Amino acid sequence: MDVVNTDQAEHWASVAPTWVEIEDHLERTAGGPGRRAMDRLDLQPGQAVLDLGCGTGPTTVDLARRVGPDGSVLGVDIAAAMLARARERASQEGASNVHFVHADVQCCDLGVAAYDRAFSRFGVMFYADPVAAFANVRTALRTGGSLGFVCWQHVMANEWMLVPGMAVTSVTGSPPAMPEPGQPGPFSLCDVDRVHAVLESAGFAEIEVVPHNDVISAPEREVGDYAAIALRMGAAREALREADEATMARAFECVASALAEKVEDGQLRLTRGVLLVTARA
């Protein structure tokens, strides 16, 4: 496999086993926005679709259902362990019109004018050269085909990541390492103007970027479970990589109490902000 995003390949290979274990939680954070983005893509029976950075494949299977048995979906991901779970899921759910390929979207051969739609749920923010990656996707789309994806707004609009991150900082004494603005990472496409600039440079037209804000909620009794999972994800996980048992225990207490402050009327409520993006090839 040709890879230019070697750091990301290593990163996602290392987090994939955790992602498989916490997939129900990931569905709670990503499921709603993913369906919203998919609804905007005007999927029709019989279409050929790409799922970019498909991870463990929940959206690949959903796309396959939406395009029906005469359509097909190719899930592309840089992490083999994610794809192993995606293949298992597709087989369990009887999705026979899906295939998966282990590849780096930025540099792999996705074909020419071979697809009607390209979709991604939080899988397109990790390219060192996003213009090259999106240009590769555009080449793979038929003229008039479309791209639709959902990405995160700024961390300040996402308390579900911010609150655990700040609580961990109070334990480690320094903020978790964050990529520089514009560098690959969950917030690399959080700026609306940047999304327009990147997609325009990659040759897309009719670019629409729609912010959507809502809340993730969970019953108060799940605060402890939520805190335990938050420590295994994203910047909190990185910040605690070398932590001993006592530090981990303190981090758990701090995250749980920060989350408890976000409980209203028996419900944990945390803001979530995304950008819903569509563009024409």
Residue 82 in contact with ligand SAM, rule: CB under 6 A: yes
Rank residues 81 and 171 by Cβ distance to ligand SAM and give the closer one.
81
Please give the Cα distance from 208 to 210 (Å, whole number).
6
Please give the Cα distance from 120 to 147 (Å, whole number).
8
Residue 100 in contact with ligand SAM, rule: CB under 6 A: no
Location of structure tokens 């440079």? 201
Report the nearest approach of ligand SAM to the CB of residue 79 (Å).
Answer: 4
Residue 106 in contact with ligand SAM, rule: CB under 6 A: yes
Report the nearest approach of ligand SAM to the CB of residue 199 (Å).
Answer: 17
Strand partners, 50: 74, 118
Report the nearest approach of ligand SAM to the CB of residue 120 (Å).
Answer: 6
User: End-to-end CA distance of the chain, in Å?
Assistant: 26
- Considering only residues 183 to 202 of the shown chain, the ones binding ligand SAM according to CB under 6 A are none
Please give the Cα distance from 121 to 75 (Å, whole number).
12
Helices (H), 94-129: none
Report the nearest approach of ligand SAM to the CB of residue 253 (Å).
Answer: 28
- Considering only residues 109 to 138 of the shown chain, the ones binding ligand SAM according to CB under 6 A are 121-123, 126-127
Report the nearest approach of ligand SAM to the CB of residue 176 (Å).
Answer: 16
Amino acid at position 76, single letter? V
Q: Which stretch binds ligand SAM (CB under 6 A): 63-71, 72-80, 151-159, 239-247?
A: 72-80
Rank residues 77 and 159 by Cβ distance to ligand SAM and give the closer one.
77
Residue 30 in contact with ligand SAM, rule: CB under 6 A: yes
Report the nearest approach of ligand SAM to the CB of residue 67 (Å).
Answer: 17
- Which of 221, 219, 64, 38 lies closest to 146, judged by CA? 38
62, 104, 116, 159: which one binds ligand SAM (CB under 6 A):
104
User: In this structure, are residues 236 and 176 in contact, taking their beta carbons and an 8 Å threshold?
Assistant: yes
Please give the Cα distance from 117 to 114 (Å, whole number).
9
Dihedral, CA of residue 5, residue 135, residue 124 and residue 117, to nearest 10: -140
Give me the residues that bind ligand SAM (CB under 6 A), please.
5, 8, 12, 26, 30, 34, 53-56, 58-59, 76-79, 82, 104-106, 121-123, 126-127
